[in-house]
Amino acid sequence: MHQYQTLLRISTTGKSFQNITAKIAAIVAECGIETGLCSLFLRHTSASLVIQENADPDVLVDLADFMQKLVPESGKYIHRAEGLDDMPGHIRTVLTSTSENIPINSGHLVLGTWQGIYIWEHRQQNNQRELVVHISGLKSSSS
């Protein structure tokens, strides 16, 4: 069993979805693990991980629209010191994911045909986000 760990820095442009599938796939390819597990961990409390449709961009528009209504910035929050978009960002993060695990088979992530990996930025401002990628597994069936 081998393992690899790296820190990925992703710039976000305010509220948006950043497709990081290709970046994660490149790390998986580079480490040479044939069969294993790729764990993703986002080091933030107002941005989250989403595994969702990679085909029609309208899905992401509808997702953002739904979340905007479910956790409105006009809500009554006590925690307002960091801006009106901060507390909604925390709640949206809790309702989505901070860590995900995707198995690796034949050297590739076993993502479904329609699955892409996204960082969902919940703050209005641009941010530099940090994602830790931890991979463990075997380099070949015999190693």
CA distance 15 to 57: 15
Contacts (Cβ under 8 Å, ≥6 apart) of 115:
51, 52, 53, 54
Q: Which two tokens stand for residue 11?
A: 């710039």
The least CB distance from residue 3 to a second copy, in Å, is 7
Among residues 64 and 124, whose Cβ is nearest to a second copy?
A: 64
Using CB atoms within 10 Å of the CB of residue 36, give its burial: 0 to 12 exposed, 13 to 18 middle, 19+ buried: buried
Binding site for a second copy (CB under 8 A): 1, 3, 5, 7, 35-37, 39, 41, 43-45, 50-53, 56, 58-59, 61-63, 66, 70-71, 75, 77-79, 81, 87, 90-91, 93-103, 105, 110-112, 114-115, 130, 132, 134, 136-138
The least CB distance from residue 140 to a second copy, in Å, is 13
